[in-house]
A and B are shown apart, each in its own frame.
Chain A
Amino acid sequence: MDSAVATEKDVTLLELLDRVLDKGVIVSGDIVISVADVDLIYVGLRVLLGSIETMERLRGSAV
């Protein structure tokens, strides 16, 4: 109906991760991975999802 609106199927994993891993209320519960850990994971996932070129570049800077 509206071509500008992405349907549910079009919502990529990245779009999801961009919110669920990176945003939302952050509190430290009793036992949580630290915020820094999540950021590293996020970078790691972008590596997995990305091209070889991106992978090489991020690997170089993230490790």
Chain B
Amino acid sequence: MDVDTHGEHLVYLYCVTAQPPNLDEARDQFGELYCVCEAGLCAVVSQVQAGEFGQPGLRRNLDDLGWVAAETTRHERIVEMVCRDRCVIPFRFATLFTADESVQTLLRADCEEFTALLHQLDSKAEWGVKAYCDPETLRDCVCTRDGAISELDETIRLASSGKAFLLRKKRDELAKAALAGRTDQYAERIVEVLHGVSVETRIRRVLPRGPTQGHGAMILNSAFLVGEDNTRRFLDTVTTLNEGYAEDGVVVECSGPWPPYNFCDLAKKVIDG
């Protein structure tokens, strides 16, 4: 790992395809990209400055959100352009090698897995599905429909202030329990329905409230691998889910098509450099 990076170039790997893609458009926007081919596979790479992407430069740059935003966008745009006419295996941001030969070594070492994966992913795309709920709308909706809570509300209305205070605590607990179960049910139902119109499903961790503010609380973060001939049906199903849940304060957001970042699990993830 201790490589002298002074004044050198590194090889940045974006994605792997079966056939060399047309890189003209990507080159116009992002500079000199080229292909490293080996074992019936083709890696799309570019040379990057060691000072920028080698350690400790990379570590420093990763603290700079502006740099990260620009470079991850560049990574994604390049993969997307290749993705338009080729099935791709996208790599994680900043997968770096010292030379083209090292990329060839990787392709040779993992050629069977890469080839099988490309076959699985052919004519399919990833769609991201996130569901959010507005807690207040959902709480009102759940409480109105819950017999026990409605009954308790009526008792509280007629109770003395001391008793009402205690009963309200009980009501809060009931409402909390009903809500916790409910958001899980929405998430499970959404996954179940969309699983029926897709090839594979990945459940991701729910992201924290901060970055997604404005949408309510995230209750589901998922990805679906959808056959190209089934895209319309998948999107129509998302629309139908939204229509059904509007009253409950639940919104299903769909983004895509994405390169299949979530569907590239290799059995062997690490090779020896």
Q: B96-104, B134-142, B184-192: which one contacts chain A?
A: B96-104
In the assembly, what is the distance between CA of A31 and CA of B220, in Å? 35
Shortest beta-carbon distance from B261 to chain A in Å: 4
Q: Quick one: which of A22, A32, A50, A58 has the most chain B CB within 10 A?
A: A32
21 residue pairs of the A-B complex, CB under 8 angstroms, read A4-B239, A4-B253, A5-B256, A6-B254, A14-B212, A16-B72, A18-B221, A19-B258, A20-B75, A23-B90, A24-B261, A25-B89, A25-B91, A27-B91, A30-B99, A30-B273, A31-B98, A38-B94, A41-B68, A48-B65, A49-B65
Across-interface contacts of A62 in B (CB, < 8 A): none
Q: Contact check, B93 vs A29: say whether CB atoms are below 8 A apart.
A: no
How many residues in B have their beta carbons less than 8 Å from beta carbons of A? 62
In the assembly, what is the distance between CA of A51 and CA of B211, in Å? 7
Q: Write out, one digit per residue, whether chain B residues 53-81 have a CB within 8 A of any chain A CB (1) or not (0).
A: 01100110011010011001101100000
Across chains A and B, the number of contacting residue pairs, with CB separation under 8 Å, is 156
Shortest beta-carbon distance from A19 to chain B in Å: 4
Instruction: Say whether, besides A4-B242, A20-B72, A46-B207, A27 and B95 are in contact (CB < 8 Å).
Output: yes
Instruction: Say whether, besides A6-B254, A49-B211, A31 and B92 are in contact (CB < 8 Å).
Output: no
Q: Contact check, A28 vs B97: say whether CB atoms are below 8 A apart.
A: no
Question: Which residue of chain A has its CB nearest to the CB of B1?
Answer: A31
The B contact surface, by secondary structure, is mixed
Q: Contact check, A21 vs B95: say whether CB atoms are below 8 A apart.
A: no
Closest 3 interchain pairs by CB? Answer: A50-B210, A54-B210, A51-B210
In the assembly, what is the distance between CA of A56 and CA of B192, in Å? 36
Across-interface contacts of B211 in A (CB, < 8 A): 12, 14, 46, 49-50, 54
Across-interface contacts of B256 in A (CB, < 8 A): 5
Shortest beta-carbon distance from A49 to chain B in Å: 4
Q: Which residues of B contact A (CB under 8 A)?
A: 1, 3, 5, 10, 13, 16, 54-55, 58-59, 62-63, 65, 68-69, 72-73, 75-76, 89-99, 102, 106, 110, 128, 204, 207-213, 221, 235, 238-239, 242, 252-256, 258, 261-262, 264, 266, 269-273
Across-interface contacts of B207 in A (CB, < 8 A): 14, 18, 46
Shortest beta-carbon distance from B61 to chain A in Å: 10
Q: Write out, one digit per residue, whether chain A residues 37-54 have a CB within 8 A of any chain B CB (1) or not (0).
A: 110010011101111011
Q: Contact check, B210 vs A30: say whether CB atoms are below 8 A apart.
A: no
Across-interface contacts of B3 in A (CB, < 8 A): 30-31
Name the interface size band of chain A.
35 or more
Sample of 18 further A-B pairs with CB below 8 A, known A12-B211, A14-B207, A31-B3:
A2-B239, A5-B235, A5-B254, A10-B255, A21-B72, A24-B92, A25-B92, A25-B266, A25-B269, A27-B110, A27-B270, A28-B273, A29-B102, A29-B106, A31-B273, A33-B55, A44-B63, A54-B208
